[in-house]
């Protein structure tokens, strides 16, 4: 081998090592930058509402205020509160996306995003803690029974067993939450609360509620549970 090649090889190896180190340093900087920008600080609702973390990425947990949910274009807007706090502080959440069909009044929401002015959290991530709730169908009536005797049951507290009709289950805020059906009969159900974890098309459910004066064709629910027999 030509002895003149040895210094050249050493030079090339040195340049290769330097180039590799430079690439590694750049990658570490990029990872650190994006890791920091995506990180969030867990804070209390009171801290978030105080504006202490303005323009920062935070994560806050709270309970959805009754009837605060609405859609504004493609944004889901609602308010949360801390049930353990002695104050009446709430935080407005604006989430770019639709919520799960189980979302509703009283559900626990874990929201991650940037805190804007005016005490608004612009959430990019939303996780909900759905309650697990089961109930026996014992003592319940059928949807067919309501259909035949609805006019005589107005105002009475009822427990109705049936199934969530596929394709009808939606998030709260509309005229109905889903359609309850069984044995060829069906009735729309109005409900703004959180649905039990696992509620989906075809779920067997027990609906507690009543038929209202002037709207006996809709069952207004006060509580919904999954049928214990299918647990």
pLDDT at residue 56 tops 70: yes
3-state secondary structure 2-55: CCCHHHHHHHHHHHHHHHHHHHHHHHHHHHHHHHHHHCCEECCHHHHHCCCCCC
Tell me if 41-129 shares its fold with 134-230. yes
pLDDT, residue 29, reads 44
pLDDT, residue 40, reads 77
Confidence band of 17 (pLDDT split at 50, 70, 90): low
pLDDT digits (tens, 9 = 90+) for 91-145: 999 999 889 999 999 999 999 999 998 889 999 999 999 888 999 999 999 999 9
In terms of Cα–Cα distance, which of 221, 129, 126 is closest to 172?
221
Is the domain spanning 134-230 CATH 1.10.443.10? The answer is no
- Structure-block tokens of residue 78: 């609602």
Confidence band of 34 (pLDDT split at 50, 70, 90): very low
Cα separation, 146 vs 160, in Å, equals 8
CATH class, domain 41-129, is mainly beta
CB of 143 closer than 8 Å to CB of 186: yes
- Structure-block tokens of residue 171: 């998030």
Summarize the confidence of residues 195-214 as an average pLDDT: 94
Confidence band of 31 (pLDDT split at 50, 70, 90): very low
Summarize the confidence of residues 194-201 as an average pLDDT: 94
Q: Which three-class secondary structure state does DSSP give residue 1?
A: coil
User: Would you kindly state where each structural domain of the chain is located, as residue ranges?
Assistant: 41-129, 134-230
């Amino acid at each position: 081998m030509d002895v003149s090649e040895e210094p050249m090889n050493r030079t090339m190896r040195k340049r290769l090592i330097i180039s590799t180190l430079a690439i590694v340093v750049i990658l570490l900087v990029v990872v650190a930058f994006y890791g920091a920008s995506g990180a969030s600080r867990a804070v209390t609702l009171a801290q978030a509402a105080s504006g202490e973390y303005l323009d920062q990425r935070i994560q806050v947990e709270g309970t959805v205020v009754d009837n605060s949910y609405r859609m504004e274009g493609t944004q889901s807007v609602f308010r949360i509160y801390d049930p353990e706090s002695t104050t009446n502080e709430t935080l407005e959440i604006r989430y770019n996306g639709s919520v799960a069909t189980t979302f509703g009044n009283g559900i626990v929401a874990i929201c991650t995003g940037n805190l804007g002015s005016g005490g608004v959290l612009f959430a990019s991530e939303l996780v909900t803690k759905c309650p697990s709730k089961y109930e026996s169908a014992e003592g319940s009536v059928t949807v067919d029974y309501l259909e035949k005797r609805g006019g005589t049951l107005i105002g009475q507290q009822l427990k109705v067993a049936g199934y969530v009709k596929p394709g009808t289950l939606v998030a709260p805020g509309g005229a109905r939450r889903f359609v309850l059906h069984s044995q060829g009969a069906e009735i729309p159900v109005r409900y703004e609360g959180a649905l039990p974890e696992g509620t989906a098309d075809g779920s067997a459910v027990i609906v507690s509620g009543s038929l209202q004066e002037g709207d006996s064709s809709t069952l207004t629910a006060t509580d919904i549970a999954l049928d214990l027999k299918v647990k």
